[in-house]
């Protein structure tokens, strides 16, 4: 007994005093490298301004359902040395960024669109020559980086971005979302060739509860065209001023309260059920574009439904710790507790590791549902987010015969490997329907919407615990009563081409069917959508000649371009295909917009830093509201990854020794 205790202590001491250099040496030899964000720590050099982003001002003008947004980021150097600033920020997955300007003093430079590598070379050349320059790159469909070079002491540089998106309605409610912060991404181990593309993941964050001193202002000017019946914002306190029944101005009520650590979500409803139906046409110099919006039928209740198999995949990683996981527990309590007789289900929990409730799905009995609730209630949150592994394990389980399988993913989406996850969804699309629940104040909407879009399902965003019951009920309603199935689109006498989406999935939610496309020739003919609502045939037809091309519909070209790019990449899937890359690059250059392969670059052609000496600064972001320090390595602020690993190993050994001692005592008692 003494010998075992002695060996245990020796092992702990060896681990705790293991030279860090040896661990580092092994890391450098490994092919895989771990990407991870880190906490921002005030620099020891007060002469360098480490927080150059002084303010973000957002102005969105919504006309009907098209939103034009202008984002102005103001950078200033209040230090004593020239700096180069880098900043990571989000946008909606549906936006088309097609304009950028850089202003220094009275000088304004309009950015040029170039192929990604060419733009980077232009920027780096200007930077090395001592010129002030800015570079905007797309890292994900909803994640962008801004680099600003040679910000001189006393400089104030303003970067204005211009982008367009379509506001869609669901169940008669229009929702405008402006994401304000990129949540920390779990990357695990990545190949060396992915390091450059993933460098944004290593951006710094303020600690939990700490926000920057910079200002964040949001203004929305809504012109609905018809009377607005309801307008609410559940994420921020806002002031609403109505200029008339169909027009309103929305601003933050408390601008001094930092607004940039959670999504800004504005919901509004308009009078008239068919307000968004119709065809919009635009005639361009080289190509013509259209947007068709068709209202679906009313929801029906199916007479007969096959029993359903539900596979719940729940994130219990560090970023979910606290409020997000509490919300997820409430959501799961509602969904699992209200399964129908005849259904079956299984539960997979994932962080660094993946565990399942059962080797295959079990009947939705009270005993099994209580077991699942107990497992969920025990979770506290910790570790990384291995969603891809969890999905593979979940899908690989034996499928129940004569049942419709529905895979439900519940996570905040804070992962780097979206491409692999969406690839798994696409590969198993014929076997399952995929639904996603995003939990948190600033979830990764690209992943949530991507899972639903690629998986032919629906995405649900739960921003607060109070919404859990409502969203669970909405999910049950959707999945038990699809509105429209077997949807087909036909063009008669209207020469349409490159229509997106090429295939329309089953419509679960009562939201419009949207078609983007190009057209040639005359404004004539008709567009007809057919399908089935319950057991009845459904047909809706629109006469093209009832519409006319308008100059004010120019934004449709950008909307088509973004939809086409999302289709080509499936939100990042298969992005390395050479033909896909060429097509996306051509779209970006033709539409003067940022894509994965085209970037904006602006250069002030004046040498302002002739000595060329400057300091690189990564502008830190706040942790999203409700996300804990555990999301980026826990409470060991400033500790190196190998330090944390060694401490964890020590705790593991101590735990083994304690468990061994307890077992011996138990044996003695017996």
Confidence grade of residue 196 (pLDDT, cut at 50, 70, 90): low
pLDDT of residue 44: 63
Confidence grade of residue 62 (pLDDT, cut at 50, 70, 90): very high
Decide if pLDDT at 75 tops 50: yes
Mean pLDDT estimate for the chain: 84
Question: 611 or 504: whose pLDDT is higher?
Answer: 611
Confidence grade of residue 51 (pLDDT, cut at 50, 70, 90): very high
User: What is d(CA 601, CA 109) in angstroms, rounded to the nearest whole number?
Assistant: 10
**Other CB atoms within 10 A of residue 520 CB:** 10
In degrees and rounded to multiples of 5, residue 194 shows phi and psi of -90, 0
pLDDT of residue 300: 65
- The predicted-structure confidence for 203-228, as pLDDT tens digits, reads as follows 899 999 899 999 999 999 999 888 99
Lowest-confidence segment of 360-364, 500-504, 621-625 by average pLDDT: 500-504
Report residue 90 as tokens: 């989000």
Mean pLDDT calculated for residue range 372-396: 91
**Closest Cα to residue 388, out of 372, 411, 406, 404?**
411
Confidence grade of residue 533 (pLDDT, cut at 50, 70, 90): confident
pLDDT of residue 636: 38
Reduced to 3 states (helix: H, G, I; strand: E, B; else coil), residue 277 is coil
Mean pLDDT calculated for residue range 359-384: 90
Decide if pLDDT at 84 tops 70: yes
Contact yes or no for 309/400 (Cβ under 8 A): yes
Mean pLDDT calculated for residue range 41-47: 76
Lowest-confidence segment of 153-167, 415-429, 582-596, 624-638 by average pLDDT: 624-638
User: What is d(CA 499, CA 501) in angstroms, rounded to the nearest whole number?
Assistant: 6
Helical spans, DSSP H, in 455-515? 468-480
User: What is d(CA 117, CA 347) in angstroms, rounded to the nearest whole number?
Assistant: 44
| Percent of the chain residues past pLDDT 70, beyond the cut | 84
Residues 184, 187, 191, CA angle at the centre, nearest 5°?
A: 145
Instruction: State the pTM of this model.
Output: 0.85
pLDDT of residue 34: 61
What class has domain 47-271+597-618?
Answer: mainly beta
> 436-474 burial by CB neighbour count: b if 16+ within 10 A, else e?
bbbbbbbbbbbbbbbbbbbbbbbbbbbbebebbeebbeb
- The predicted-structure confidence for 428-451, as pLDDT tens digits, reads as follows 877 788 999 999 999 999 899 989
Listed in order, the ranges of the chain carrying CATH 3.40.50.410 are: 308-480
Mean pLDDT calculated for residue range 75-97: 94
- The predicted-structure confidence for 130-140, as pLDDT tens digits, reads as follows 999 999 999 98
pLDDT of residue 304: 54
pLDDT of residue 652: 44
Report residue 536 as tokens: 């009845």
Mean pLDDT calculated for residue range 543-565: 94
Residue with tokens 């710790």: 321
- The predicted-structure confidence for 286-303, as pLDDT tens digits, reads as follows 999 999 988 887 776 655
Of the segments 196-200, 415-419, 544-548, which one has the largest average pLDDT value?
Answer: 544-548
pLDDT of residue 402: 79
Which residues have a Cβ under 8 Å from the Cβ of 218 and sit 6 or more positions away? 58, 60, 178, 236, 251, 252, 259, 264
Which residues have a Cβ under 8 Å from the Cβ of 201 and sit 6 or more positions away? 35, 36, 37, 185, 187, 416
**Other CB atoms within 10 A of residue 334 CB:** 17
pLDDT of residue 195: 56
Q: Options 3.40.50.410, 3.10.450.50, 4.10.910.10, 3.40.50.720; which CATH number does 308-480 get?
A: 3.40.50.410
Lowest-confidence segment of 155-159, 203-207, 250-254, 335-339 by average pLDDT: 335-339
Listed in order, the ranges of the chain carrying CATH 2.60.40 are: 47-271+597-618
User: What is d(CA 360, CA 400) in angstroms, rounded to the nearest whole number?
Assistant: 9
């Amino acid at each position: 007994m003494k010998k075992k205790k002695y060996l245990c202590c020796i092992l702990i001491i060896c681990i705790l005093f293991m030279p860090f250099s040896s661990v580092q040496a092994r890391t450098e030899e490994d092919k895989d490298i771990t990407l991870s964000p880190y906490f921002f720590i005030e620099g020891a050099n007060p002469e360098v301004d480490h927080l150059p982003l002084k303010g973000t001002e957002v102005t969105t003008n919504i006309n009907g359902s098209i939103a034009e947004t202008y984002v102005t980021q103001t950078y200033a150097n209040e230090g004593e040395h020239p700096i180069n600033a880098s900043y990571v920020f989000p946008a909606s997955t549906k936006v088309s960024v097609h304009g950028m300007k850089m202003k220094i003093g009275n000088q304004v430079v309009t950015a040029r669109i170039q192929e990604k590598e060419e733009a980077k070379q232009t920027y780096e050349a200007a930077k090395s020559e001592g010129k002030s320059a800015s570079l905007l790159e797309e890292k994900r469909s909803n994640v962008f980086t801004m680099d600003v070079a040679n910000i001189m002491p006393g400089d104030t540089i303003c970067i204005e971005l211009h982008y367009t998106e379509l506001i869609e309605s669901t169940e008669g409610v229009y929702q405008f979302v402006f994401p304000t912060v990129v949540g920390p991404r779990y990357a695990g181990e990545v190949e060396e060739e992915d390091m450059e593309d993933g460098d944004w993941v290593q951006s710094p964050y303020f600690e939990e509860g700490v926000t920057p001193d910079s200002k964040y202002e949001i203004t929305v000017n809504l012109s609905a065209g018809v009377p607005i019946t309801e307008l609410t914002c559940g994420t921020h306190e806002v002031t609403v001023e109505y200029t008339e029944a169909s027009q309103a101005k929305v601003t933050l009520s408390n601008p001094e309260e930092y607004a940039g650590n959670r999504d800004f979500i504005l919901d509004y409803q308009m009078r008239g059920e068919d307000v968004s139906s119709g065809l919009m046409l635009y005639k361009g110099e080289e190509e013509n574009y259209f947007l068709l919006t068709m209202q679906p039928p009313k929801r029906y209740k199916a007479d007969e439904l096959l029993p359903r198999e539900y596979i719940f995949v729940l994130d219990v990683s560090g970023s979910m710790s606290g409020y997000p996981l509490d919300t997820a527990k409430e959501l799961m309590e509602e969904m699992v507790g209200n399964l129908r007789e005849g259904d079956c289900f299984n539960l997979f929990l994932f962080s660094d590791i993946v565990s399942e409730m059962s080797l295959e799905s079990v009947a939705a009995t009270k005993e099994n549902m209580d077991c699942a609730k107990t497992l969920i209630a025990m979770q506290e949150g910790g570790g990384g987010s291995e969603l891809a592994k969890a999905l593979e394990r979940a899908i690989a389980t034996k499928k129940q015969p004569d049942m419709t399988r529905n895979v439900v993913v519940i996570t905040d989406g804070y992962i780097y490997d979206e491409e692999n996850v969406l690839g798994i969804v696409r590969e198993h699309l014929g076997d399952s329907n995929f639904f996603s629940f995003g939990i948190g104040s600033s979830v990764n909407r690209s992943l949530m919407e991507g899972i639903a879009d690629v998986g032919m399902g629906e995405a649900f965003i739960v921003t607060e615990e109070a919404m859990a019951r409502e969203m669970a009920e909405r999910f049950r309603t959707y999945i038990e009563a699809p509105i429209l199935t077997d949807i087909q689109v036909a063009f008669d006498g209207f020469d349409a081409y490159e229509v997106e989406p090429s295939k329309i999935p089953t419509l679960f939610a009562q939201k419009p069917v949207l078609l983007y496309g190009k057209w040639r020739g005359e404004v004539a003919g008709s567009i007809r959508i057919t399908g089935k609502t319950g057991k009845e045939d459904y047909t809706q037809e629109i006469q093209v000649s009832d519409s006319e091309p308008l100059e004010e519909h120019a934004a449709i070209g950008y909307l088509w371009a973004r939809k086409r790019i999302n289709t080509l990449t499936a939100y990042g899937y298969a992005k390395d295909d050479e033909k896909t890359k060429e097509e996306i690059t051509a779209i970006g250059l033709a539409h003067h917009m940022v894509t994965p392969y085209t970037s904006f670059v602006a250069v002030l052609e004046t040498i302002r830093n002739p000595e060329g000496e400057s300091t690189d600064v990564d502008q830190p972001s706040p942790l999203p509201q409700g996300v804990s320090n555990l999301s980026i390595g826990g409470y060991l602020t400033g500790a190196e990854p190998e330090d944390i690993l060694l401490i964890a190993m020590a705790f593991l050994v101590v735990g083994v020794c304690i468990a061994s001692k307890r077992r011996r005592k138990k044996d003695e008692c017996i």
